[in-house]
């Protein structure tokens, strides 16, 4: 029932957005972009908007005001204090209200919808895991209860089936990162499916940072064996080194690149598919299409719950595999590179 309520709420939000289109014409592209893109305001439903603070550094000076100042009474975009918001970006404008071309002194550090959503998810993570830590201290030696009993099997699974299985004896030093990355991605994936939720993990900048952290940990964890396989691959003739070394170096970056794109593409695609299915109702305006669109959107919404967990698992698993490859010790017993890994 809760999931059906969420679907109904989402449908009503889209209906209100469709009805408010200029000239009464429904534009599915604008509606989908509005829901998945970052913004300077957080639109929960029609008429329920949280205007977020705009924070700018203009030639070394801090400028701050509410994003509501960019809208007039009819909700049209207008300049404010020499700035204007267009297509999700803020520009310095001249007296005529036109963006100043080539202006380099403006830096935008505003609290956007994705940033605010990230603060919410981090606060939720702190609440959940400080509560669990407190339960462990309070119920030491006793069976887990409540929230602790729900999360403990997941934590043990990450420890035993992901960290230990792929990293080996040195797994403990990577457990804080693996647990953080798993629950951060999972929680934000789920929050993005809520009505009015932000598409945080469907933002390429966010997935880029997550992948970059995995890359840095992998590179700085690399031992002699790891770098030896890159710059002097065992069993490969020396005359192939000019080819193999660039290929291996490129491989260092393609692995986190795949992490970045996979998470971004899967989460964004899920949102687009669900919104597209709802859009069919307003495009065809047929009583035959409506029930089918809702049925398929319901199925996709349930599927996205699984995808939210799956993508967190895949990102964590592959990160652990990269760490394991960086710290693994190899004992090559012959020139062909065959040996036992400790």
Q: Find which of 26-30, 176-180, 293-297 is predicted with most confidence, using mean pLDDT.
A: 176-180
Least confident residue range of 7-21, 111-125, 186-200, 303-317: 7-21
Query: Global pTM?
Result: 0.84
pLDDT at 330: 62
* Alpha-carbon separation of residue 306 from 10, 20, 189, 247, 302 (angstroms): 19, 33, 10, 35, 7
Confidence grade of residue 240 (pLDDT, cut at 50, 70, 90): confident
Confidence of residue 175 (pLDDT cuts 50, 70, 90): very high
Taken in order 165, 166, 168, 173, is the CA torsion positive or negative? negative
Which alpha helices (H) appear in the chain, and where do they start and end?
A: 2-19, 28-36, 113-138, 147-157, 165-167, 175-192, 204-221, 224-231, 241-284, 289-327
Beta bridge partners of 44: none
If you average pLDDT over every residue of the chain, what do you get? 84
Task: Please report, for the chain, the start and end positions of each structural domain, with discontinuous segments joined by +.
Answer: 53-110, 114-341
d(CA 69, CA 3): 36
Per-residue pLDDT, 105 = 87
Average pLDDT over residues 83-93: 88
Residue 199, judged by CB atoms within 10 A of its CB (0-12, 13-18, 19+), counts as: buried
Residue 271's CB is within 10 A of a number of other CB atoms, namely 19
Residue 342 CB neighbour total at 10 angstroms: 10
Q: Is the pLDDT of residue 269 over 70?
A: yes
Task: Label residue 77 by pLDDT band (50, 70, 90).
Answer: confident
- Does residue 24 register a pLDDT over 80? no
Backbone angles phi, psi at 90, to 5 degrees: -110, 130
Give the C-alpha separation, 130 to 291, whole Å.
44
* Residues 6+ away with beta carbon under 8 Å from 301: 3, 6, 7, 193, 274
- Pick from 66-80, 226-240, 292-306: least confident: 226-240
Q: pLDDT at residue 135 above 80?
A: yes
Q: Strand pairing of 48-51 and 41-45?
A: antiparallel
Most confident of the following: 73-77, 140-144, 200-204, 237-241: 200-204
292 token code pair: 């089918």
């Amino acid at each position: 029932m809760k999931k059906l309520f969420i679907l109904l709420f989402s449908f009503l939000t889209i209906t209100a957005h469709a009805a408010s289109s200029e000239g009464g014409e429904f534009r599915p592209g604008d509606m989908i972009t509005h829901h998945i893109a970052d913004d300077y305001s957080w639109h929960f439903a029609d008429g329920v908007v949280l205007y977020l603070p705009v924070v700018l550094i203009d030639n070394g000076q801090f400028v701050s005001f509410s994003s509501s100042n960019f809208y007039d009474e009819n909700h049209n975009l207008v300049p404010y204090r020499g700035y204007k918001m267009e297509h999700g970006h803020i520009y310095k404008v001249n007296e005529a209200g036109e963006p100043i071309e080539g202006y380099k002194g403006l830096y935008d550090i505003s609290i956007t919808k994705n940033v605010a959503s990230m603060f919410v998810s981090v606060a939720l993570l702190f609440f959940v895991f400080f509560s669990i830590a407190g339960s462990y201290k309070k119920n030491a030696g006793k069976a887990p209860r409540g929230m602790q009993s729900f999360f403990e099997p997941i934590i043990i699974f990450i420890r035993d089936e992901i960290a230990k299985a792929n990293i080996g004896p040195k797994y403990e030093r990577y457990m804080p990162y693996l647990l953080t990355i798993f629950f951060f991605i999972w929680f934000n994936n789920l929050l993005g499916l809520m009505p009015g939720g932000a598409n945080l993990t469907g933002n390429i900048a966010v997935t880029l940072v997550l992948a970059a952290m995995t890359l840095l940990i992998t590179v700085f964890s690399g031992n002699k064996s790891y770098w030896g396989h890159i710059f002097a691959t065992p069993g490969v003739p020396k005359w192939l080194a000019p080819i193999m070394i660039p290929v291996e170096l490129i491989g260092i970056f393609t692995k986190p690149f795949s992490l970045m794109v996979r998470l971004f593409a899967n989460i964004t695609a899920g949102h687009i598919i669900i919104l597209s299915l709802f859009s069919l109702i307003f495009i065809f305006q047929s009583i035959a299409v409506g029930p089918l669109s809702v049925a398929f959107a319901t199925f996709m919404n349930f599927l996205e719950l699984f995808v939210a967990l799956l993508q967190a698992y895949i990102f964590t698993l592959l990160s652990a595999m990269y760490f394991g490859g960086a710290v693994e010790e190899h004992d090559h017993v012959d020139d062909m590179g065959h040996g036992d890994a400790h």
